Amino acid sequence: MALSRRELLLGTVGLAATGCTSGDQGADAADATPTDATPDATPTDATTTTTTEPEVVLVDAPPYEGDFPFQLGVASGDPDADSVVLWTRLISNVETPTSNLVVAVDVAHDAAFDDLAYSGLVDAPAAYANSVHAIPEGLESNSWYHYRFRAGEHVSATGRTRTLPARGSNPPPLRFGFSSCQNWESGAYSAHRHLADLDLDLFVWLGDYIYEYGPGNNGDVSSAGGRVHDSPEVTTLDGYRQRYGLYKSDPSLQAHHLARPWIVTWDDHEVDNNHAANTTEDGQDTDAFALRRNAGYQAWWEHMPVRMDPPVRGEDFVIYRSIEWGDLVHLHMLDGRQFRTPQPTDGDPVALPGVGNLGVRQLSNDARNPAQSMLGTTQRQWLERQVSTSSAQWNVLGNQVYMHGLNAFPGPVPAINTDTWDGYFGERQNMLDTIGGADANLVVLSGDFHSSSAADIRSDPFDLSGPIMATEFMAPAISSTFPETLRGLAPLVLAVNPQVRHFSPENGFMTSEVTPESWTTRLHTIDDVTNEDSNVAITATFTVESGIAGIAAIR
Ligand SMILES: [Fe+2]
C-alpha cells in the first residue's frame, strides 16, 4: 500500500509542512527519508497530545496579524487507513509571503469539535507560500472526521474527510467521483457544487486543475464562459501561485473540497499545454522550460492536499502512487507528463473536414516503437509491479489521456491524436499485455478530452479481433468545453470506433460504485456550463461485471 508507511509523527514539533514519504512509490522515492525541507520554518510550541491519549485538549491558536487568512478554503487528500493530509494555505495581505507562520489544526469526530481526535500546531512556511500539509496520524480506519484550521481569531471552514478501510480488509463498496479539466474562463463550476452534495467516499482528479493560458484563451474553439481573468500566460512561481489562488477562490470548488478527500494527479496545463517532459510545444528553451516546469510543480504541491515531499529543482518529482480501499480497489495514480518522450511527429498530418489539423497524424512507426513512452521505464515498471502483486479485486489506473484509442477520421491508416495513448501505441500494447486481460478487472480512468466515453480497451484498439483487456471511463470536464466544430464530427468518428461504446461532449463528472461483483459508473452531465446554478442529470449508466473486461451494459 503506497501510503501506509507514515514517518511524520504528531506531537513533536508540530506537523511539518513536508517530510512524508511513501514506501511504495517509485524507485526514486522509495528510499526517501523525511527531511526538514523548511529549515526557516518557525519552531513551534506544539502540544504533545496524541490520539492515543484519552483526552485531547484544544490547543491555543497562534497569534496572527491580518485579514481572514483561509480565503482559499481547506482541503484533504491522500488518505490511508490511519491518517489523511489536511491542507490549507494562508493568504495574507501581501502577494509574496515573507513570514513563516504557524496555525492550529483540529480533527474531531463531530462537527462541533466537542469530541476531538487531534489538536496541534503546524508550520505554514513562507518558502512554500504559507501552505500547510498536516498529517494527523492514529485515526481510526474507515472513519469520517471533521477538520479545521485556526490562526489568531480566525477559524477556517470545516471540512469533512475520511480514512480508508484497513489494508487487506473486506471493505464496504467504494463510491467515488472523478473528473478533470476546469478552465476557469471556459465555464462555471456547477459540477463541483453538485458533487459536494453527493454521498461519495473519495474524489479522483485527473488533471488540468488550472490552465496556464493568458486572458481570453480558454483553449477551446468555443468561448462562452463569461469569466475572464487579467493575468498573462503563467511562467513563474508567483504567476502559478496567483493562478491557483484565482481558481481556488471559486466557492463551488471550495465546497467540493470540503466534502471529502481528493486524490489528485496533474496533466499538461498545470505547467504548459501538451508538454512532454522538458519539451514544450511553444518551442521554449529547454533550460528555461525546466525552470518553468519546476515552478509549476512547486505551486501544484503548495496547493494540493498531497502526501509527498515538495519538488527539488533538477530532480524527478515522483507523484505516482497507489491507495488501497481494502482489498476491493487498488487505485494507481499515474503521471503521464513528466517522464514521457515527445509526441511522435513522423506520421503524416491529417486534416479533419471543416476543422483543420488539430495535431492529428497518421499512426506511425515511431508511435508503434515501444521505446516511445508516456510513463517512462521506472514508472511503467512500478505500475506493472503494483498491479501484478496486487491482491485487489479491481485495479484502477488514475490516468490523464484516453487509452481506448480513437481513429479520428476514416481511412486506410488510423488518424490519431499523438498526445494520447495512441501516440504511445507500442508501450500501451506491451503494458496491457502485461497488466490487462479478459479477466484482469483492470479499469482505466481518464480525462483531458473535454468530453466523456465508456469504452473497451484492446492492446491494439484498431484490431477488433483482439480480446478486450480493460475497461475505460473517460470523465467529462468540469468546465473546459468540447469544441463546437468537433461536435458535428462525432457521429462519423464513432462509427469507425466501435470500442467507444458511449460518447458525450457535455460537461460534468462521473461517479462509480464498486463491489466485488460489479462496477457501476454513472455519467452526470450539466445543462449549461456557463451557469453556476445549472441543473445536473444522470444521462447514462454503465456496468462492468467482475471477471469480464469491457462494458457489460449501458442504460
Ligand atoms: Fe483539459
CA 136 to centroid of ligand 1, rounded, Å: 33
Q: What pLDDT was estimated at residue 80?
A: 98
CA 181 to centroid of ligand 1, rounded, Å: 4
Task: For domain 174-554, give the CATH number.
Answer: 3.60.21.70
Q: What pLDDT was estimated at residue 95?
A: 58
One DSSP character per residue, 376-420 reads: -HHHHHHHHHHHHT---SEEEEE-SS--S----S-SSS-EEETTS
Rounded Cα gap, residues 496 and 109, in angstroms: 53
pLDDT of 30 over the 50 cut: no
CA 183 to centroid of ligand 1, rounded, Å: 7
Q: What pLDDT was estimated at residue 168?
A: 86
Residue 279 is given by DSSP the state B
Average pLDDT over the chain, rounded to whole?
89
One DSSP character per residue, 321-381 reads: EEEEETTTEEEEE--SSTTPPPPP--SPB-PBTTTB-TTEEE--HHHH-TTS-SS-HHHHH
CA 207 to centroid of ligand 1, rounded, Å: 7
Residue closest to 127 by CA, chosen among 99, 151, 87, 150: 99
Q: What pLDDT was estimated at residue 223?
A: 52
3-class SS at 119?
strand
Residue closest to 248 by CA, chosen among 115, 74, 120: 74
Residues 404-431 pLDDT 10s: 999 998 888 999 999 999 999 999 999 9
pLDDT band at 353 (very low <50, low <70, confident <90, very high): confident
Q: Using H for helix, E for strand and C for coil, what is the string for 496-518? A: CCCCEEEEECCCEEEEEEECCCE
CA 44 to centroid of ligand 1, rounded, Å: 40
Rounded Cα gap, residues 337 and 419, in angstroms: 10
Residues 232-270 pLDDT 10s: 999 999 999 999 999 999 999 999 999 999 999 999 999
Rounded Cα gap, residues 133 and 303, in angstroms: 9
**Least confidently predicted of 22-26, 95-99, 237-241, 278-282:** 22-26
Q: What pLDDT was estimated at residue 412?
A: 87
Residue closest to 151 by CA, chosen among 74, 62, 41: 62
pLDDT band at 225 (very low <50, low <70, confident <90, very high): low
Q: Which residues pair with 253 in a beta bridge?
A: none
Highest mean pLDDT among 96-105, 151-160, 212-221: 151-160
Q: What pLDDT was estimated at residue 43?
A: 34
pLDDT of 370 over the 70 cut: yes
CA 509 to centroid of ligand 1, rounded, Å: 13
Residue 54 is given by DSSP the state S
Strands (E), 1-111: 74-77, 85-89, 101-108
CA 239 to centroid of ligand 1, rounded, Å: 19
CA 288 to centroid of ligand 1, rounded, Å: 24
Cell of 465: 479481433
Architecture of domain 27-162: Sandwich (2.60)
**Least confidently predicted of 8-17, 390-399, 475-484:** 8-17
Cell of 51: 490520539
pLDDT of 283 over the 90 cut: no
Which burial class, exposed, middle or buried, applies to 233 when counting CB atoms under 10 A from its CB (0-12, 13-18, 19+)?
A: middle
Q: What pLDDT was estimated at residue 96?
A: 63
Query: Max alpha carbon distance in the chain (Å)?
Result: 72
CA 336 to centroid of ligand 1, rounded, Å: 14
CA 450 to centroid of ligand 1, rounded, Å: 6
pLDDT of 47 over the 90 cut: no
CA 283 to centroid of ligand 1, rounded, Å: 20
Q: Whole-angstrom distance between the N-terminal and C-terminal Cα of the chain?
A: 35
pLDDT of 40 over the 60 cut: no
CA 278 to centroid of ligand 1, rounded, Å: 19
Rounded Cα gap, residues 341 and 274, in angstroms: 12
Distance (Å) of CA 415 to CA 36, 411, 418: 50, 8, 9
Residues 108-160 pLDDT 10s: 999 999 999 999 999 999 999 999 999 999 999 999 999 999 999 999 999 99
CA 310 to centroid of ligand 1, rounded, Å: 24
Q: What pLDDT was estimated at residue 492?
A: 86
Residues 443-482 pLDDT 10s: 999 999 999 999 999 999 999 999 999 999 999 999 999 9
CA 163 to centroid of ligand 1, rounded, Å: 29
Q: What percent of the chain has pLDDT over 90?
A: 77
CA 412 to centroid of ligand 1, rounded, Å: 30
**Least confidently predicted of 20-34, 183-197, 233-247, 440-454:** 20-34
CA 537 to centroid of ligand 1, rounded, Å: 22
Q: What pLDDT was estimated at residue 45?
A: 36
CA 417 to centroid of ligand 1, rounded, Å: 14
CA 488 to centroid of ligand 1, rounded, Å: 20
Angle in degrees, 0-180, between the axes of helices 286-303 and 237-248, rounded to the nearest 10: 40
Phi-psi region of 226 (alpha: psi -120 to 50; beta: other; left: phi over 0): left
Residue 541 is given by DSSP the state E
Q: What pLDDT was estimated at residue 38?
A: 33
Same fold, 27-162 and 174-554: no
Residues 51-88 pLDDT 10s: 455 589 999 999 998 899 999 999 999 999 999 999 99
Residue closest to 519 by CA, chosen among 485, 476, 551, 481: 551
CA 272 to centroid of ligand 1, rounded, Å: 11
* Mean pLDDT within 352-368: 89
CA 451 to centroid of ligand 1, rounded, Å: 10
Q: What pLDDT was estimated at residue 133?
A: 98
Q: What pLDDT was estimated at residue 292?
A: 95
The number of beta carbons lying within 10 Å of the beta carbon of residue 488 is 12
Q: Which residues pair with 474 in a beta bridge?
A: 446, 453
Question: Residue with C-alpha cell 499545454?
Answer: 273
CA 135 to centroid of ligand 1, rounded, Å: 30
CA 268 to centroid of ligand 1, rounded, Å: 8
CA 479 to centroid of ligand 1, rounded, Å: 9
3-class SS at 429?
helix
Report which of residues 43 and 547 the model is more confident about: 547
Rounded Cα gap, residues 262 and 183, in angstroms: 18
One DSSP character per residue, 163-225 reads: PPPPTT--PPPEEEEEEB---TTT---HHHHHHHHS--SEEEE-S-SS----TT--SSS----
Domain ranges of the chain: 27-162, 174-554
Residues 296-325 pLDDT 10s: 999 999 999 999 999 999 899 999 999 999
CA 165 to centroid of ligand 1, rounded, Å: 32
Q: What pLDDT was estimated at residue 66?
A: 87
pLDDT of 41 over the 50 cut: no
One DSSP character per residue, 280-322 reads: -TT---HHHHHHHHHHHHHHHHHHS---SPPP-TTS-----EE
CA 178 to centroid of ligand 1, rounded, Å: 14
CA 449 to centroid of ligand 1, rounded, Å: 6
CA 251 to centroid of ligand 1, rounded, Å: 21
Contacts of 112 (CB under 8 A, 6+ apart): none
Q: What pLDDT was estimated at residue 452?
A: 97
CA 448 to centroid of ligand 1, rounded, Å: 5
pLDDT of 348 over the 60 cut: yes
Question: Residue with C-alpha cell 493530509?
Answer: 85
CA 122 to centroid of ligand 1, rounded, Å: 34
Q: What pLDDT was estimated at residue 284?
A: 79
